[in-house]
Amino acid sequence: MAARGRVFYDGTLGDPQLDHPEGVAVHPDGSIWCGGERGQIYRLAPDGGRLDQVAETGGFALGLAFGPAGELYACDLKHRAVFRIDPRSGAVERFTDGGADRPFVTPNCPAVTPDGTVYVSDSHIQGEPGPGVYRFASDGSGGLWYDGPLDFANGVAVAPDGAAVYVVESFRPGITRIPIRADGSAGKAEPVVTLTDTVPDGITFGPDNALYVGCYEPSQVLRVDPVSGEVTTVLADPTAHLLCHPTNLAFRGQQLFTANLGRWHITVIDGVLPGAA
Is residue 257 domain-resident? yes
Nearest to 259 by CA among 39, 19, 60, 40: 19
Nearest to 261 by CA among 212, 204, 199, 207: 199
What are the pLDDT digits (tens) for 149-200?
999 999 999 999 999 999 999 999 999 999 999 999 999 999 999 999 999 9
Kindly state the DSSP code that residue 115 receives in the 8-state scheme: T
Count of structural domains, the chain: 1
265, 17 Cβ separation under 8 angstroms:
no
Question: For the CA atoms of 268, 274, 276, 277, what is the dihedral angle to 10 degrees?
Answer: 90
Is residue 32 domain-resident? yes
Residue 119 lies in domain:
4-270
Non-local (6+) Cβ contacts of 139 within 8 A are none
Is residue 64 domain-resident? yes
Is residue 275 domain-resident? no
Is residue 276 domain-resident? no
What are the pLDDT digits (tens) for 190-210?
999 999 999 999 999 999 999
Is residue 182 domain-resident? yes
Tell whether the model's pLDDT for residue 2 goes beyond 90.
Answer: no
What's 158's domain CATH number?
A: 2.120.10.30
SS3 per residue for 63-109? EEEECCCCCEEEEECCCCEEEEECCCCCCEEEEECCCCCCCCCCEEE
What are the pLDDT digits (tens) for 118-146?
999 999 999 999 999 999 999 999 999 99
Is residue 124 domain-resident? yes
Tell whether the model's pLDDT for residue 1 goes beyond 80.
Answer: no
pTM: 0.97
Is residue 277 domain-resident? no
